[in-house]
Amino acid sequence: MNASGNNEKDGANDKPESDDQYSEPNYRKLDSQDNHSSNTSNSNNDENNIGDVDEIFGSFMNEIDSIRNSKNESRLDKKMDSNGHVIRLISQAFPSPYQVLGVGPDATIDDIKREFRNISRYIHPDKCRHPRAQEAFHILKKAYEDIHKEEIREKYKTVFDFARKIVYKKHGIKPSANNIDLVLAGFGPEGQKAMEKEIYAECDAILQRQADRKEYAERTLKANIEYEKRKISEIMLLERIQMYERMEWDKTIDMRVNSWRNFQDQVDTKQVKFNAFRGVDTKKEERSAQHQEALKHVTKRRKY
């Protein structure tokens, strides 16, 4: 009995041990842990999203800055040497001083000065050995002086704005669009550079058309002036001829008067013979042999 009693005690002792090993889970604690982990993951996702937005915005602003900087770059070939710059300046007529310096109408004074100094380093007569370097430098200097005149800058700025509106309208962009609007429309740095070249090309075309119209007007005016001069010369020549004829007429007036007086004297003395009522004498027409032969052919044709 003792043994069985001990066993029963041992069994009783074993039950509480098993009860201590198994414990009911704390659901509130688990829910709080899940909420904490979810909040942590959400905060991490928000931080990642904010980081992505900052990165995108940073790259966007870098594109804007690169576009702004590209506008100030020279439009000339950077590989051009001294002879190339001289030949470019003396081989063509430039509609605007901006084309001489290779900058756009929206260039600042600092951009214009920088480009003038850059080209001067190549074509200055003291440094360039080209025989026409002096002429090229004079063209460059004249353009640099003209471009500083306010009226000329305003004129070409208006032309540039008009050309930009034409190009924007061609691409379906509103005329008042800025760089951010262009980027949002899908024109990145390369696209905007291509559009800038297109605007400059349109600006050059407008200036060329204006130059052609001006040249035509000047040529027409010159032709009209030459015509007027020629007409005036003809009138003056006619007047000189008439004056000369009057002078010659005046020189012979005495001779004519004396001749008329002599005629009147002869009439008075009845020494003048009048043949007013004299009969008409007939005279046979003399024809050459060639003429007679031609008349024979005409007569034959009439018969047939």
Model confidence pLDDT, tens digit, residues 208-262: 888 889 889 999 999 999 999 999 999 999 998 889 888 888 888 888 888 888 8
Tens digit of pLDDT for each residue in 83-139? 888 898 888 877 778 878 888 777 888 888 999 999 998 898 888 888 999 999 999
d(CA 245, CA 114): 72
- What confidence tier does 22 reach under pLDDT thresholds 50, 70, 90? very low
d(CA 10, CA 124): 116
Using the predicted structure, report yes or no on whether residue 12 has a pLDDT greater than 50.
Answer: no
Question: What are phi and psi for residue 182, nearest 5 degrees?
Answer: -65, -40
What confidence score (pLDDT) does residue 301 get?
A: 56
Tens digit of pLDDT for each residue in 148-203? 888 877 777 778 888 888 888 888 888 777 777 777 777 777 777 778 778 878 88
Kind and range of the H or E run holding 186: none
d(CA 161, CA 154): 11
What confidence score (pLDDT) does residue 20 get?
A: 45
CB atoms within 10 A of CB 150: 7
Q: CA–CA distance from 220 to each of 94, 206, 207, 224, 225 (Å)? A: 21, 21, 20, 6, 9
What confidence score (pLDDT) does residue 222 get?
A: 92
Residue 159's identity, in one-letter code, is V
Residue closest to 120 by CA, chosen among 97, 107, 139: 139
d(CA 33, CA 26): 11
DSSP label at residue 95:
S
Q: Quick one: CA dihedral 156, 159, 161, 163, positive or negative?
A: negative
What confidence score (pLDDT) does residue 92 get?
A: 81
Task: Show the DSSP H helices in the chain as ranges.
Answer: 2-21, 27-71, 82-90, 97-101, 109-123, 133-147, 150-170, 179-184, 189-251, 253-268, 289-303
Higher-pLDDT residue of 123, 263: 123
What confidence score (pLDDT) does residue 274 get?
A: 54
For the chain, the maximum distance between any two Cα atoms, rounded to a whole number of angstroms, is 216
- What confidence tier does 4 reach under pLDDT thresholds 50, 70, 90? very low
Give the range among 38-42, 141-145, 297-301 with minimum mean pLDDT.
Answer: 38-42
Q: Which two tokens stand for residue 130?
A: 């080209």
Using the predicted structure, report yes or no on whether residue 14 has a pLDDT greater than 50.
Answer: no
Mean pLDDT of 71-75: 49
Using the predicted structure, report yes or no on whether residue 48 has a pLDDT greater than 50.
Answer: yes
d(CA 250, CA 241): 14
Q: CA–CA distance from 283 to each of 5, 45, 46, 90, 280 (Å)? A: 198, 136, 135, 83, 10
Higher-pLDDT residue of 253, 281: 253
Domain 75-148 has CATH 3.20.20.450: no
Tens digit of pLDDT for each residue in 185-197? 777 777 777 787 7
